[in-house]
């Protein structure tokens, strides 16, 4: 089974396991560094938990994922038109903070957070 097939097959389980996790303590150190008008790119947005949170905080959020099922769930949850794209298809010229990436549920890219 290919990795993408696994994500599509278990999208419901991923959504149930992650949507209600309180991430506020991880969001705040990252968000205090951003101007209010910042556009955030959520790469690998899964079921949309972080996209939903950032949108509700007033940020403009673009989100992508490579799983059709997770894109569908994230779009339903957030109201954001999540794009079916891989990391390699991102147009980096539209994102000032593209070097900020999330790994293992923590924000990296700003050296003081890694």
pLDDT tens, residue by residue, 60-102: 999 999 999 999 999 999 999 999 998 888 776 555 444 444 4
Q: How many CB atoms lie within 10 A of CB 73?
A: 22
Task: Report the pLDDT value the prediction gives residue 110, as an integer from 0 to 100.
Answer: 43
Q: Which fold has domain 3-113?
A: Rossmann fold (3.40.50)
The two structure tokens encoding residue 7 = 């994500």
Q: Provide, rounded to the nearest whole percent, the portion of the chain with pLDDT above 90.
A: 58
Write down how long the chain is: 114
Partners of residue 107 on adjacent β-strands: 102
Q: Position of tokens 């994922």?
A: 65
């Amino acid at each position: 089974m290919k990795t993408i097939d696994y994500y599509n097959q278990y999208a419901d389980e991923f959504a149930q396991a992650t949507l209600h996790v309180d991430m506020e303590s991880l969001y705040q150190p990252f968000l205090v560094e951003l101007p209010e008008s910042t556009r955030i790119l959520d790469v690998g947005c899964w079921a949309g938990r972080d996209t939903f949170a950032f949108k509700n905080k007033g940020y403009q959020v673009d989100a992508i994922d490579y799983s059709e099922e997770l894109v569908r769930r994230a779009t339903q949850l957030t109201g954001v038109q999540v794009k079916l794209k891989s990391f390699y298809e991102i147009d980096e010229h539209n994102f000032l903070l593209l070097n900020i990436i999330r790994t293992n549920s923590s924000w990296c890219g700003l050296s003081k957070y890694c």
